[in-house]
Amino acid sequence: MKALFNPFRYIAGTKALVMGYLFIVASALMLYSGNLIQDSYIHIGIAKATFLEVLGAQTIWWVVPALLLYLCGLLLSKSKIRIIDILGTTAFAQIIVLMMIAPMLLPVVMNNMLESVAALQSGAILEPASLIPMMIYSIWSLICLVLFYIWNYNAFAVSCNVSGWKAIAAFIAVQVAVTIVGTVI
Amino acid sequence: MSSKKIFPTVCPSCGGVLSVKSLHCAECETAVSGEFEVHPLLRLTAEEQQFVTAFIRCSGSLKQMAADMGLSYPTVRNILDDIISKLQNYESTL
């Protein structure tokens, strides 16, 4: 149970970084195959992009928050922290993004989503029953999102040996800053 | 049935730091009494003392310890840092 919420007690550093980057590449491949792109920190949009652009976006939305958390760690931690640990643990946490993306590519979910978007744009009213696949996916992605934040916080806490309200405040500040910047650009 | 007793370091009544009043030789029944301070390392918990022992056995290699304990490097380093800060606290109260 501990490992479910905090796998970084057991894995960090280079091993986590290699595995994590493989998750990022796998996510990028999935997004690319579905003509999708991670266009902000926690948002996926439809776009015709090359695989390298999709991978680049995935990498940026992992590296930038990780570096900001590392800077917070340098300011808050009394321990000698290593950048490889924060990069490794946050990269490993990207498996949650993969878990979020994978069901999205199921034809039943994808078609339902496209139908809903088209209906919204045309002003048509859809039967609630026809939205069931999208509703199930929404619940799944909400669970993944909560887990994503828990894993990222634990990645920060373990890698930088920080805890308490200062760590929570720094983590929230980084998440809010990255989300706002992601939405603006 | 013999159970291993845990060396108490904190007074169960007031929470103050305990010191050693007397020592006893199980071989010849000699008793030594006086006022002996407990070394800060003995004030660590049993798990922390085990960690310190393992740390010495690994010649201070946290990577080796992480591999032996099945934990990540930062987790092991965090345990060590917490022990260091605990020892610093004990030493400052001496």
Q: What is the ipTM of this complex?
A: 0.83
User: Residue B61 is part of which domain span?
Assistant: 39-92
Q: For position A2, what pLDDT does the model report?
A: 77
3-state secondary structure of B31: strand
What is the share, in percent, of chain A residues with pLDDT greater than 70?
A: 100
Report the chain B residue with the minimal C-alpha distance to residue A154.
B75
Asked, for residue B53, whether it belongs to a domain, the answer is yes
Torsion of the alpha carbons at A59, A61, A134 and A95, rounded to the nearest 10: 60
The answer to whether B89 faces chain A, any CB pair under 8 Å, is: no
Asked, for residue B6, whether it belongs to a domain, the answer is no
Mean of pLDDT values over A121-125: 79
Q: For position B10, what pLDDT does the model report?
A: 83
Asked, for residue B61, whether it belongs to a domain, the answer is yes
Q: What whole-number distance in Å separates Cα of residue B9 and Cα of residue A179?
A: 49
The answer to whether B60 faces chain A, any CB pair under 8 Å, is: no
Asked, for residue B59, whether it belongs to a domain, the answer is yes
- Cβ contact B72–A16 (<8 Å): yes
pLDDT band with cut points at 50, 70 and 90 for residue A72: very high
**Comparing C-alpha atoms, which of A75, A64, A61, A62 is closest to residue A160?**
A75
Q: What is the mean pLDDT of chain B?
A: 89
Q: Measured between CA atoms, how close is A90 to chain B, in angstroms?
A: 13
Asked, for residue B15, whether it belongs to a domain, the answer is no
pLDDT band with cut points at 50, 70 and 90 for residue A170: very high
Half-sphere exposure of B41 (CA within 13 A, CB side): 5
What is the domain count for chain B? 1
| B1 has a pLDDT exceeding 70 | no
Q: Which one of A10, A79, A80 has the shortest CB-CB distance to B72?
A: A10
- Element (H or E) spanning B33, and its range? strand B31-36
Mean of pLDDT values over B70-92: 93
* CA end-to-end span of chain B: 38
Asked, for residue B51, whether it belongs to a domain, the answer is yes
Asked, for residue B17, whether it belongs to a domain, the answer is no
Q: What is the DSSP letter of B29?
A: -
Q: For position A91, what pLDDT does the model report?
A: 97
pLDDT in tens, B28-66: 999 999 998 888 898 898 899 999 999 999 999 999 999
The answer to whether A19 faces chain B, any CB pair under 8 Å, is: no
pLDDT band with cut points at 50, 70 and 90 for residue A142: very high
DSSP annotation string for A28-90? HHHHHHTTEEEEETTEEEE----HHHHHHHHHHHHHHHHHHHHHHHHHH-SS---HHHHHHHH
| A87 has a pLDDT exceeding 70 | yes
Contact, A136 vs B51, CB < 8 A? no
Mean of pLDDT values over A12-40: 94
pLDDT band with cut points at 50, 70 and 90 for residue B94: low
Count of residues in chain A: 185
Asked, for residue B83, whether it belongs to a domain, the answer is yes
Write out chain A residues lying below 8 Å of B75, CB-based. 8-10, 12, 158
Q: What is the mean pLDDT of chain A?
A: 91
